[in-house]
Structure 1
């Protein structure tokens, strides 16, 4: 018999976070928006009025019990499965690579290598520095603060998945200083790095220099995170 699959793992994770949260409504809202599901669609899925979902999320209604939480989570997962199961697969890839989903948001290998500019176009990224190669075979989306504070150097290296021929997309970035320094001590370096959430003029002064020294392409993007993740799902 196999162990629990990613769907069951994800269901338990979401239910646990909602149940144990100091603000269950806010946590429910976070997961619902992560899945790109409207209050109306979730309500219809579990056969309640949309005002019930709204009341839970706003705190107007008493925190849901475990039975209600289970129905809400099952509803989110059922909607995702009907849409093709992208969020469930995304979580499964991260889980199988040995990471927590709050550190690594997505990790994927492509069937064939693609030009880096194709990915830039999909997520509206602006290249700051060209790298030594312009093709990639996968991507990893990483919360920079969580990764830098929680991962060992060996775990940091595992962000490369099956190949360093990939782009590392770092979210939760202020100026890119921590990312640049962290990559200095990890060898080899990836083909490309994208810093999410900042404009070119907000970039740390030495970020370009470190990218040139280590030979990786450097780009920035301010695309909304949920849209960025959706575009990466459909990159090939």
Structure 2
């Protein structure tokens, strides 16, 4: 089927995102956890998803918990369509957000690493990988992925729109800024980007050297803030193993 612009459904942002979600669930070692990750990323309750699929909420719960066998292609397709239909009914914010990055390439001088996890991870695991110290608690205690950004390159080279794209496929993630001396510039830059990440880790700065207003800004915007001075390459290797 073609869209009014002449694109086939698979070429549209919705079609591209649908393929990504379906592929990630189908290929996951824990499809239920991956299904749950995407559902929560879209801000959809089990009941809302079940209603859209015309099944009982226990069916969704059983698949997510692993009490039922891994969902087949048919069910995965129904889940994906339901999530995207719900998003479109709400205004399509998630689809538009993902469209910004679905085909984006990233300069390795700016982005050291960008990953989506197969299922949500406790934020503390990111902290452990980076040997980070939390200086402000956030409203969420899990992340669905991480992006490691060279703060100097990003702030000096990117527009606000390009900076926004670095969130990757999910906003419920950890942003790690390297080459930080005080933390003022990354945190000020984050104020122009909504929604905010779940956690921000500033690498290269200690709690004593952190910008005085940093914890207060993090609390005001609702994200967790941590700092790290661990050897960067070793920390990145551990982070990639999460």
| Alignment TM class, shorter chain as reference | 0.5 to 0.7
Equivalent in 194, 198, 207 of residue 205 of structure 2? 198
CA contact (8 A) 1:139 1:169 kept: yes
Tell me whether 1:119 sits opposite 2:126 in the alignment.
yes
Find the residue that maps to 2:140 and give its secondary structure: coil
Find the residue that maps to 1:227 and give its secondary structure: helix
Q: Deviations over 1:124-146 (max 9, x none)?
A: 11000000100000000000011
> Which position in structure 2 is the counterpart of 1:215?
222
> Which position in structure 2 is the counterpart of 1:227?
234
The alpha carbon displacement at 1:164 in A equals 0.7
> Which position in structure 2 is the counterpart of 1:77?
none
Q: Deviations over 1:90-133 (max 9, x none)?
A: xxxx9x64221000000000000010011111221100000010
Tell me whether 1:161 sits opposite 2:168 in the alignment.
yes
The whole-number CA distance in structure 2 between the counterparts of 1:110 and 1:116 is: 12
Equivalent in 177, 180, 183 of residue 173 of structure 1? 180
| CA RMSD in angstroms, aligned pairs only | 1.6
The whole-number CA distance in structure 2 between the counterparts of 1:184 and 1:131 is: 16
Tell me whether 1:150 sits opposite 2:145 in the alignment.
no
Q: Which ranges of structure 1 fall in alignment gaps of 5 or more residues?
A: 1-93
The whole-number CA distance in structure 1 between the counterparts of 2:225 and 2:166 is: 17
The alpha carbon displacement at 1:231 in A equals 0.6
Q: TM-score, normalised by structure 1?
A: 0.58
Equivalent in 125, 142, 145 of residue 138 of structure 1? 145
Q: Which ranges of structure 2 fall in alignment gaps of 5 or more residues?
A: 1-100
Q: Deviations over 1:180-218 (max 9, x none)?
A: 100111111100000001110000011011101110000
> Which position in structure 1 is the counterpart of 2:84?
none
The whole-number CA distance in structure 1 between the counterparts of 2:195 and 2:159 is: 15
Q: Deviations over 1:4-42 (max 9, x none)?
A: xxxxxxxxxxxxxxxxxxxxxxxxxxxxxxxxxxxxxxx
Q: Deviations over 1:36-63 (max 9, x none)?
A: xxxxxxxxxxxxxxxxxxxxxxxxxxxx
The whole-number CA distance in structure 1 between the counterparts of 2:108 and 2:160 is: 18
The whole-number CA distance in structure 2 between the counterparts of 1:161 and 1:98 is: 10
**Equivalent runs, 1:9-28 vs 2, <5 Å:** none
The whole-number CA distance in structure 2 between the counterparts of 1:141 and 1:119 is: 12
The total of aligned residue pairs comes to 142
